[in-house]
Structure 1
Amino acid sequence: MSPVSRPAAHTRQPGPPFDAPAARRLRVALGMTPAHVAQGLRTSYALAHATPDLVNAWERGALTPAHAELTALAGVLWCSPAELIGPPRTLREHRVARGLAPEDVARAVGHEFLAYTRMEESGQWRGTDRQSAVLAELLGLTLPDLVTVTGREGELADLLRAAVGTRWQAYVKPVARIVPLERRLLEDALQELHRDYQGRMVATLSWGGGSAAGAAGDTGEDFLDAIVEHFWTSLRKRTA
């Protein structure tokens, strides 16, 4: 595959979160190849840099279309731009989705502009609890969103994995430092996760050796891989 070259105007400011699978699905449904899409971008939207390799890079998630590119791609695929926008994942994507400039967010939360932009680039939030609360309100972040964009999801996952494998009670306070909710809610969620995981491990042992035990063990690993998602699901059941 040839290197993808794009004008600086299309790389300096990345666009909104992009739903790469949706773009590929829409293209295939129209019976188009990446070459057809690239030709449409060049001839109908004056994107001279559009090539099949660029379209493939978008669909693989290797590159994200800039705003102008996404609008043009939607035109070629006969859809609205909203159909190509995925859910925000990073701090920058949440800000872009709200239509806010970085300087506006920096001012609102009380950070220097350069310090804030470094946080967006690194994915590591350095704000206080008060600043985090302002950020969540400004960007309309749910608690799971806030944990993710502040770069603490990995830390939470490590705590949850430890909690389900040992005494979950010892992890209530550490989890509460990341997820500031009522203690009883956290206790109930951790207890449920612990019970579910231990049940899977007991099932693994009861099978003994062989392929069935391996499958049961894989189920336990899958549970640990998605531990944060299981945690949020457990909390949602209790706060619905």
Structure 2
Amino acid sequence: MRAVHHPSARTDRHPPPPFNAPAARRLRTALGMGPEHVAHALRGSYGLPYVTPALVAAWERGTATPSHPELAALAGALWCSPGELIGRPRTLREHRVARGLAPEDVARTVGHELHAYLRMEETGHWRGTERQSAALARMLGLSLADVITVTGREDRLAELLRSAATTRWQAYVRPVSKIAPLERRPLEEALHRLHRDYQGHMAATLSWGGGHGDAGDSGREFLDRIVDHFWTAVGDATR
């Protein structure tokens, strides 16, 4: 008898999207389905003959991650949008998949040739004009933080924020505003807070008797998440 080749979940050449395993389990349970029912639907209705209940359970435990095609099929089986099964999107492709949009639709709306748009998804480097960037943000529902991430400017923002937190924050209001065009008052408040929190964190760690080594580790941890701290501070300043 001739062996049947089952396509691998990893034949998709794109990295898998960030998968929200608890959401998948919650949606399946709400439908009164077991992993075996989901696996049957994926095999019979979505052309994924290799999917087993054990694989579905592994997705839900977070020990395996569905590929882009598998996630789209799973969303169909669970009667939800792909976005409901994706964790916080980080890349342009992940945001598009979360919205359930075809690349052709996004390319046409923002005014790019399809091959050029797909190249931007591949490389992670957005090369659109200001108008095209605004159209992309509207279509994909991107926040300012998302726009900065998908256009490849988050690393530069993090570099500036680390300097603002560790040196004289006032000198970084203008450079940061060129990347994150916020109103001056909330931007200044956010940078001041980063500086204050970082310096206070370092001082508190030293006062606990942990020594300079512990303070350095704690400070590096704060700086590693500086972009998240920044957007939290901006949110607080604009309330």
Instruction: Using structure 2 for the length normalisation, give the TM-score.
Output: 0.75
Alignment of 1:1-240 (within 5 A): 5-6=7-8, 11=12, 18-23=19-24, 37=35, 41-42=39-40, 45-46=43-44, 47-51=48-52, 54-55=55-56, 56=58, 59-60=62-63, 62-64=65-67, 65-72=70-77, 74=78, 81=80, 84-208=85-209, 210=211, 215-240=214-239
Q: Which whole-Å CA distance do the structure 2 matches of 1:217 and 1:159 have between them?
A: 19
Deviations 1:189-234 (A, max 9, x none): 1111001101112223434555xx6554443232212211111111
Match of 2:3 in 1: none
Q: Is the 8 A contact 1:164 1:194 kept in 2?
A: yes
Q: Note closer, same or farther for the CA distance 1:198–1:44 as it changes in structure 2 (3 Å cut).
A: closer
Displacement after TM superposition at 1:103 (Å): 2.0
Structure 2 letter corresponding to 1:184: R
| Cα distance change of structure 1 residues 7 and 157 upon mapping to structure 2, 3 Å threshold | closer
- Cα separation, partners in 2 of 1:151 and 1:20, compared to 1, 3 Å: farther
Aligned equivalents of 2:143, 2:41: Cα separation in 1: 42
| Contact 2:161–2:226 (Cα < 8 Å) also in 1 | yes
3-state SS in 2 of match to 1:86: coil
How far apart, in 1, do the equivalents of 2:180 and 2:201 lie?
26
Describe the superposition over 1:34-81 as per-residue Cα deviations: whole angstroms up to 9, x where unpaired.
Answer: xx8468614884342114774436733544323224434x4xxxxx54
Distance 1:235 1:113, change over 3 A: same
Give the superposed CA RMSD.
3.6
CA contact 2:111–2:132 (8 Å) conserved in 1: yes
Distance 2:101 2:37 in 1: 33
Structure 2 distance, partners of 1:87, 1:218, is 27
TM-score (norm 1): 0.75
Q: Are the counterparts in 2 of residues 16 and 67 from structure 1 also a CA contact under 8 Å?
A: no
Which region of structure 1 is more displaced relative to structure 2, 192-201 or 220-229?
Answer: 220-229
Which residue of the partner structure matches residue 33 of structure 1? none
Matched residue pairs, number?
224
- Report the CA distance between 1:152 and its aligned residue: 1.7
Measured after TM superposition, the shift of residue 179 of structure 1 is 0.4
Shift of 1:184: 2.6
Once the two structures are aligned, what percentage of the paired residues are identical? Answer: 60
The separation in 1 between residues aligned to 2:202 and 2:144, in whole angstroms, is 30
Counterpart contact for 1:185–1:235, Cα < 8 Å:
yes
Aligned CA distance change for structure 1 residues 40 and 147 (closer, same or farther; 3 Å):
closer
Name whichever of 128-137 and 88-97 sits farther off.
Answer: 88-97
Letter in 1 for 2:73: A
Aligned equivalents of 1:43 and 1:146: distance in 2? 36
Displacement of 1:141: 1.1
Report the equivalent of 1:31: none
